[in-house]
Amino acid sequence: MSEKTRTSLVRDLQRLLEGEVTEEPEVLERYSQDFGRTVRRMPAALARPRDAEEVARIVRYAHARDLPVASRAMGHSMRGQSLCEGGIVIDMRALRGLEEISPDARTFVSQPGVLWREVVAASTAHGLTPPVLTSYPHASVGGTLSACGWGTASVRYGAQLDHCVELEVVIGTGEHLRCNREQEPELFDHVRGGMGQFGLMTKIRYQLRRYHSTVRTYVLEYDDLGAWLEDSRTLVVRDEADHLDCALQQKPDGQGVRWTGVITASLEREAPEDRDGQRLLAGLRFARHISTQDVPTAAFVSQASNPEKPPLPGEAYPWMVTFMPWSRVQPFLELCIRRIPPAALGSANGPMRLWPAFRRVTQVPMLQMPREEIMAMLSICPATTQEGLPIMMSVMSKLSDVGMEVGARRHLGTWVHFDRARWRMHFGEAWPTINRLKRTYDPKGILNPGFIDFEPESALAS
């Protein structure tokens, strides 16, 4: 885009909006990358709208001129899902009103830029919490609802997407629509988890739940990978844990590193005599019972000790998160251990983690899941230098292909580098519907372009 065209674009947007519009190079540079640091796309302008109507004005303007538009709040994506080259980035963090907490209805209403930690702080004052929280409380509500939202409570409550009640959305023509399970249900089902491909959220109504007063957490350590995985599965089937987090960590020994499994299982309780953990722990084959801790549930869900973690200078994070059929988890983990350099999975970068659950806990069409009864969300989080990024991306692509071939499906908010054939494999029978809805709700393909490689219109017509 020429400097003259960029200046004209910015002036047009400034006339359209009361919110801030900028083309300052240092600001645009910050918005040219996301957390993953694997892609760089330089926008022409950044807009911070005042309200939903201003979001609609931006999209109508872009639609009329075939300009790309990306929506972004905290920028936690890993493969450029919230970036656009030569277009307009809408800073959704500008829309950060937490408009309502309803104790009677057990719901909250917010704009998309509100952070989950802000929701938790407001809702726990009423004895309520979101059913599921991710392990990172600094993500935005709109961000995780555009992706997935999986966490320790997913073993019981599924994804954050499953508890969204209603959305207000600006689609790719600039039209502002309300959607829920009865009104515009296809739009509702595909904006949730749709990575901004079908519409941009401007308002969210979301279900909350009541909680018991205390959380008791057991931390168990394993030296044997098979025992760790068997007990992880047992805890899903036993249906006793309210929170379940399974990690595979490196520990140094005299000959390098060894891998140790950790299970962190929690029970919500109302009184000390409730749910004493005997049924939870019965027959498990852990090597060491590391700790048992009781904390108030409000403190547990606040994750106050979990700080924000910005990317480090010079590093890149091609993190791969996969929904894996349970029968394939162990061989896939063993393959990852062989293929990924141990230093790339050091303690500073986080362990490999599993969040296992029954397949039935989530029912959102955009979340493609394995067909087995039990599956796990498997997180592999390497760090690399920018110089080492091409090699690491090659390794992660091969691992992703292995997973896909055995029935795994990918979490779209993380590092996903697919060609069209892989997108067809990922969505399977849903692929024609995905393409049809893209043409319906974003006919010019301006929303968050460059991520999903949709079929050309000629292929769909044939």
Are residues 118 and 55 located together in one domain of the fold? no
Q: What is the pLDDT of residue 402?
A: 97
Q: Domain with 87 in it: what CATH number?
A: 3.30.43.10
* Domain assignment of residue 309, yes or no: no
Q: State how many domains the chain has.
A: 5
Are residues 405 and 334 located together in one domain of the fold? yes
Are residues 183 and 252 located together in one domain of the fold? no
Q: Domain with 346 in it: what CATH number?
A: 3.40.462.10
At 411-437, the pLDDT tens digits run: 999 999 999 999 999 999 999 999 999
Rounded Cα distance, 368 and 429, in Å: 10
Are residues 35 and 131 located together in one domain of the fold? no
Are residues 199 and 122 located together in one domain of the fold? yes
State the pLDDT confidence band at 147, using cuts at 50, 70 and 90. very high
Q: How many CB atoms lie within 10 A of CB 3?
A: 8
* Domain assignment of residue 14, yes or no: yes
Are residues 103 and 206 located together in one domain of the fold? yes
**Among 177-181, 240-244, 271-275, which is the least confidently predicted range?**
271-275
Are residues 134 and 196 located together in one domain of the fold? yes
- As given in the structure block, the two tokens for residue 341 are 């350099």
Long-range contacts of residues 360-365, Cβ cutoff 8 Å, at least 24 apart: 361/154, 361/155, 361/156, 361/157, 361/158, 361/159, 361/162, 362/154, 362/158, 362/159, 362/161, 362/162, 363/158, 363/162, 364/159, 364/161, 364/162, 364/189, 364/192, 364/193, 365/189, 365/190, 365/193, 365/430
Q: Quick check: 448 pLDDT over 80?
A: yes
State if pTM tops 0.85.
yes
Are residues 238 and 154 located together in one domain of the fold? no
Are residues 78 and 106 located together in one domain of the fold? no
Q: Domain with 248 in it: what CATH number?
A: 3.30.70.120
Question: What mean pLDDT do residues 152-179 have?
Answer: 99
State the pLDDT confidence band at 347, using cuts at 50, 70 and 90. low
Rounded Cα distance, 308 and 346, in Å: 19
The answer to whether the beta carbons of residues 195 and 449 sit under 8 Å apart is: no
Q: Domain with 198 in it: what CATH number?
A: 3.30.465.10
Last residue of a domain, one of 92, 115, 136: 92
Residue 87 is classified by DSSP as S
* Domain assignment of residue 303, yes or no: no
| Chain centre distance of CA 315 | 21
Q: Quick check: 374 pLDDT over 60?
A: yes
* Domain assignment of residue 434, yes or no: yes
Are residues 340 and 400 located together in one domain of the fold? yes
The answer to whether the beta carbons of residues 353 and 246 sit under 8 Å apart is: yes
Question: What mean pLDDT do residues 9-31 have?
Answer: 96
Rounded Cα distance, 334 and 443, in Å: 44
Ordered strands of the 256-269 beta sheet? 288-296, 214-222, 256-269, 243-253, 352-358, 374-380, 320-325, 409-410
Q: Quick check: 462 pLDDT over 60?
A: no
Question: What mean pLDDT do residues 321-337 have?
Answer: 96
Q: What is the pLDDT of residue 342?
A: 82
Last residue of a domain, one of 92, 114, 145: 92
pLDDT exceeding 70 applies to what percent of the chain?
98
Last residue of a domain, one of 41, 62, 92: 92
* Domain assignment of residue 51, yes or no: yes
Which residues sit opposite 374 in a β-bridge?
358
* Domain assignment of residue 233, yes or no: yes
Rounded Cα distance, 178 and 167, in Å: 6
Are residues 87 and 10 located together in one domain of the fold? yes
Are residues 186 and 262 located together in one domain of the fold? no
| Domain ranges, residue 287 | 214-297
* Domain assignment of residue 148, yes or no: yes
* Domain assignment of residue 302, yes or no: no
Q: Which residue has the higher pLDDT, 279 or 272?
A: 279
